[in-house]
Amino acid sequence: MARDLWKYDNYSHRVILRTGEERTARRNRREKTLKTNLLNRPRVIVFAVVITILVLLFIREAKSVLSSNPRFMVNDIIVENSSLFNKDEICELLQINDAKGLMSFSVNQIVKILKKDPDVERVAAEKVLPNTLKLNIAERAPLVGFDYSGKRYLANKDGIILLRDRPNLNTPRITGLTMEQPVPGESCVSKGLMHALCVIEEANTVGLNKFVDIIGIDMKNESNIIIQTSERIVIKIMLNDLQSRLEKLVAILGDVQKKGRIVQLIDLRFKDVYVE
């Protein structure tokens, strides 16, 4: 910076301050010279291209060697946080066999393939050299079940139809639904099912699960929703002003529990609550 500000005058043998125009002109000449020199060096450009190609070829060849090396064949698959997927099923989904090397597929490919499964919500994959594939799978949790054409289906909180049944899992059974053929992995096109999910979500929000366990919901009539519980209490409710009605239900059940009463029916569809 100091050399740009001052110059040596050969005639007067003195160091004098450069003007702003002189500094700018000198800087422009220097930049133009540098640019010209770079453009006039085709060998540098060719050399850079050749080096890039060689590096890519080396990576490709190294990947090929590692993929076919017996030491790097997939020998173990660790599946964490999953009750649905075991080693054999993962091998089938990823098409892993005895000749499949750990380096023959990328982590992104693994994640992309597994996320296509309707029961998978999130997945993280990790390669542990030399021959282990580690997976952490977050499954979609079923919230309700329903029957269609004699077959049981499960859906999560978002109404997405799951692929695998869980015979030992007790979820509220939704009846009275009108819908088309459920497709695993897609949201169920059923207004009744979405309303049932809304009822369960609101019920959990207000703390209804502290007093009763919902085992079934009949959605045939939105103005007369019938909730069945494992305590053998029938609850009648409607979607209109749902949160307020459920809060009132929680208060009633709390009072019933406190007094040790036994009830069989609670009707909250009207202004005056009926308890039997």
pLDDT digits (tens, 9 = 90+) for 29-73: 666 665 565 555 666 677 777 788 877 766 665 555 555 556 667
Same domain, 265 and 154: yes
Q: Which of 96, 122, 139 is the last residue of a domain?
A: 139
Note whether residue 47 is domain-resident: no
Mean pLDDT in residue range 143-172? 93
Average pLDDT, the chain: 83
What pLDDT sits at residue 225? Answer: 96
Residue 5 pLDDT exceeds 70: no
CA separation, residue 260 to residues 6, 29, 143, 210, 263 (Å): 99, 97, 30, 16, 10
Which CATH number does the domain housing residue 248 bear? 3.40.50.11690
What pLDDT sits at residue 51? Answer: 82
Taking each helix axis from N to C end, the angle separating 107-114 and 87-94, rounded to the nearest 10 degrees, works out to: 100
Q: What is the span of the domain harbouring residue 32?
A: 2-39
Percent of the chain with pLDDT over 70: 76
Same domain, 8 and 126: no
What pLDDT sits at residue 67? Answer: 53
Note whether residue 16 is domain-resident: yes
Per-residue pLDDT tens for 185-227? 999 889 999 999 999 999 999 999 999 999 999 999 989 999 9
Backbone angles phi, psi at 251, to 5 degrees: -65, -40
Note whether residue 224 is domain-resident: yes
Cα 172 from Cα 120, distance rounded (Å): 21
Same domain, 224 and 267: yes
Q: Which of 139, 167, 187 is the last residue of a domain?
A: 139
Note whether residue 52 is domain-resident: no
Cα 156 from Cα 48, distance rounded (Å): 54
Mean pLDDT in residue range 107-111? 88
What pLDDT sits at residue 82? Answer: 86
Single out the residue of 199, 185, 188 nearest to residue 238, CA to CA: 199
Same domain, 156 and 31: no
Same domain, 209 and 251: yes
Single out the residue of 212, 256, 203, 204 nearest to residue 234, CA to CA: 212
Percent of the chain with pLDDT over 90: 49
Same domain, 252 and 166: yes
Same domain, 111 and 21: no
Q: Which residue has the tokens 């997945």?
A: 123
Query: Where is pLDDT greater, at 15 or 131?
Result: 131
What pLDDT sits at residue 92? Answer: 84
Note whether residue 79 is domain-resident: yes
How many domains is the chain built from?
A: 3
Same domain, 133 and 184: no
Per-residue pLDDT tens for 73-94? 777 888 988 888 888 888 888 8
What pLDDT sits at residue 129? Answer: 79
What pLDDT sits at residue 74? Answer: 74
Per-residue pLDDT tens for 231-269? 999 999 999 999 999 999 999 999 999 999 999 999 999
Note whether residue 22 is domain-resident: yes
Backbone angles phi, psi at 206, to 5 degrees: -85, -5
What pLDDT sits at residue 169? Answer: 87
Same domain, 172 and 267: yes
Note whether residue 128 is domain-resident: yes
Query: Where is pLDDT greater, at 171 or 46?
Result: 171
Backbone angles phi, psi at 126, to 5 degrees: -145, 135
Note whether residue 50 is domain-resident: no
Single out the residue of 238, 227, 235 nearest to residue 264, CA to CA: 235
Q: Which two tokens stand for residue 147?
A: 């029957």
Q: Which of 109, 139, 169 is the last residue of a domain?
A: 139
Single out the residue of 201, 244, 242 nearest to residue 223, CA to CA: 242
Widest distance between CA atoms in the chain: 117
